[in-house]
Structure 1
Amino acid sequence: MTQDTKQFDIPKTMKAAVLFGPDDMRIVEKAVPTPGPGQVLVKVAECGMCGTDLKIYDGHFPLTPPFGKFTPGHEWTGTIVGLGDTVNEFSIGDRVCIEAHHGCGRCANCLAGKYTMCLNYGVPGKGQWASGMTADGGFAEYVVHYASSVYKMSDKLTFDDGVLLTTAGTGLFGIDTVGGYLLGENILIFGGGPVGLMAVQLAKQLGAKTVILTDLIKSRLDLAKKLGADYVINSGEVDDIPTEVKKLTGGEGVHVSIDAAGAATIPQMALESTRRGGQILLIAFYGKPVTLDLASAIRQGIQIHTSRGEGGGSVGRAVSLAEMGRLVCGPLVTNRFPLEKINEALGIVRSHEGNPIKVVIQF
């Protein structure tokens, strides 16, 4: 490390969650990692959970490290306590949030700025690093990450904010994928979870005329309204969502439909809700193959886009929005658990018991 860390008493070992097999997460003692060149060591304050963590927990996420060694967690925030060689962008004591993905920096995609789609994703020794996915993540007391994927937070922001800023980056990167220019447009968002709720706010900040959100849970619909949604649709009470959407948009449908939920039936509903010449953005992972009338999409000139993670420096831009008071982040944290209760926390994420929004492990 290149700077004095005496202000922090860094132990040799730490408590960390390790995945030993499907649905087998255990708390173990691991060595505190040492940051390499270009990396920082962070004392974790909080690490959020999302649907991706459930897929990792179930053993269904590709290219994760071997069972018995790997620590998940990709929505973490904390305080820098160590700097690797060549790092001078940060200081010991800086409070930071992250983009989970760091590309190899050497493949054609990374050189084009598409580091969340690194061609060396999951290839050991090539430099690609996805915290909590292809490298150890934040369900631990300490974690290392690349400085280029870390963002300093001012005193205006809390660690609760920091967790949700990673989530905001996912929505913002997706909106970039469909052009990033929503001024005067009608937007439909499927899913009132953290990604969907951040997307509501981002769409309004980017000038959307009308934002519609649909979800099954009333408390999420109520929160979406508070965060800026112009209309909400309870998908448990409405038989035909596309028809309802067209009623709200003068019969045309929306300019952009965004799936932040991941149910296999949603892409077709998105297609039927989108106006001719519009766009569909898929930012959720699906648990099974999706059936979609592509012929209809082609006839109507509807473009279908996907995006993964928080690329394009999106978290840094989300930090700026939050510091200007234009994003509500921290209040979306509804449930906190100590590391020792990580399995219970994952159970809450799966069951939605108590209608949680963002569940975090807090250190």
Structure 2
Amino acid sequence: MAAPDATTMRAAILAAPGEIRFAEVPLPEPGPGQVRIRLEGCGVCASNLEPWAGLEWLTYPGEAGGPGHEGWGIVDAIGAGVRGLALGDRVATLSGRSFAGYDVADAAEVVALPEALAGRPFPGEPLGCAFNIFRRSDIAPGQTVAIIGIGFLGAILTQLASDAGARVIAISRRQSSLDLARRYGAAETIAMDDHWAIIDQVKRLTGDAMCARVIEAVGKQWPLDLAGELVGFGGKLIVAGYHQDGPRQVNMQNWNWKGIDVVNAHERDLAVRLRGVREAVAAVASGRFDPAPLYTHVYPLDRLGDALDDTRDKPDGFVKALVTCG
């Protein structure tokens, strides 16, 4: 970390696959239109795992603070031309170097956090992602919605879909994940252990109609295959899992025959991403949704490697890891 008058800060650097080193690096200075954020913490995302494991198209070492992109903290320096933000404002940021003491972001990439969230962790990027996925899913009362993969995103989507009046069928590997889905409103749960048995069970639960919406939230080939089988005629398959480890194959004959819509729910438009974060801020601040029980594992920055390993290995009860930076 850095004192207010310091010229350096401590930052994590992904030096090589499976190797984190820590270094004192220059304290970043905001340029025009930017703010500097004294980070309180940063969430660990499943998308961090491929760089952690090693991808052939990545170069190492990575930049200081990367690939942390779920940060929140306090604005402590402001560049020229910034309007609407002040020193001391608490914000969530969409910047990508937040495994560090400080990060710099365009002012347009941060969302102010209200007093109702004071002292509470707020990884805005994944929370906003969940709300954007929910909007893209176009869920209506009375629909049957299957959610494949009940982790952080899956649990949030379970509650949002249930609150919208849908009947949620949660499908996941671990019993603790299925128990979590029940707590967040799932009407039915199915162990993700046998492809054809799952299909048969969903047929029984829906009277052969299958599901109006299927959200795939794992990011692997088999869950994507399963999702295509579970969606009903004219339904929607929503790809919420982050598929970054190579090409996928799909059963296009099945998708054509059913006439389904396929939605890739990963947003890249900044305005849409910010909309999701603001919707999450409003929901959490009002008490409509409480993500706190999902923050199951908290680590100091010096244990970032352990946080990444646990995000990969998912020890008992694991849902989401946060790293404290301040």
Q: So what's the TM-score if we normalise by structure 1?
A: 0.81
- Residue 197 of structure 1 corresponds to which residue in structure 2? 155
Instruction: Say if 2:283 is the partner of 1:301.
Output: no
8 A Cα contact 2:13 2:23, kept in partner = yes
Matches within 5 A, 1:79-98: 79-98=74-93
Which range moves more in the overlay, 191-200 or 282-291?
Answer: 282-291
Structure 2 CA distance for partners of 1:184 and 1:36, relative to 1, 3 Å: farther
Instruction: Label 1:170 to 1:355 Cα distance change in 2 as closer, same or farther (>3 A).
Output: same
Q: 1 CA distance for matches of 2:125 and 2:188?
A: 26
AA at the equivalent of 1:81: D
Alignment of 1:53-92 (within 5 A): 53-60=48-55, 67=61, 69-72=63-66, 73-92=68-87
Q: What's the counterpart of residue 361 of structure 1?
A: 323
RMSD of Structure 2 on Structure 1 (CA): 2.2
How does 1:1-363 map onto structure 2 within 5 Å?
Answer: 9-60=4-55, 67=61, 69-72=63-66, 73-98=68-93, 100=94, 131-132=95-96, 137-157=97-117, 160-163=120-123, 165-178=124-137, 180-205=138-163, 207-236=164-193, 240-286=197-243, 287-309=245-267, 312=272, 313-363=275-325
- How far 1:26 sits from its partner (Å)? 0.6
Long gaps (5+) in structure 2: none
Higher helix share: 2
SS at match of 1:167: helix
SS at match of 1:162: coil
Instruction: Tell me the amino acid that sits aligned with residue 153 of structure 1.
Output: L
Cα distance in 1, alignment partners of residues 317 and 246 from structure 2: 24
Flag the 1:308–1:25 CA change in 2: closer, same or farther, 3 A: same
Q: What is the SS of the residue equivalent to 2:99?
A: coil
> What displacement does 1:161 show?
4.2
For the Cα contact (< 8 Å) 1:190–1:266, is it kept in 2? yes
Compute the displacement of 1:149 (Å): 2.0
Change (3 A) 1:188 1:159: farther
Counterpart-to-counterpart distance in 2, 1:253 and 1:328: 30
- Give the conservation status (yes or no) of the 8 Å contact 2:195–2:226: no
Which segment drifts farther, 248-257 or 139-148?
248-257
CA gap of 1:243–1:141, structure 2 versus 1, over 3 A, is same
Q: Following TM superposition, by how much is the alpha carbon of 1:10 offset from its aligned partner in structure 2, in angstroms?
A: 4.6
Cα pair distance change 1:267/1:346, threshold 3 Å: same
- How many angstroms does 1:226 deviate by? 1.1
Shift of 1:291: 3.0
Deviations 1:124-163 (A, max 9, x none): xxxxxxx32xxxx110000111222211112222565412
Single out whichever of 47-56 and 231-240 deviates more from structure 2: 231-240
**Structure 2 Cα separation of the partners of residues 76 and 221 of structure 1:** 28
Deviation at 1:310, TM superposition (A): 7.1
Unaligned ranges ≥5, structure 1: 1-7, 101-130
- Residues 168 and 199, structure 1, Cα contact 8 Å, conserved in 2: no
Q: Name the CA distance, whole Å, in 2 between partners of 1:68 and 1:284.
A: 24
Structure 1 residue 66 displacement after superposition: 5.7
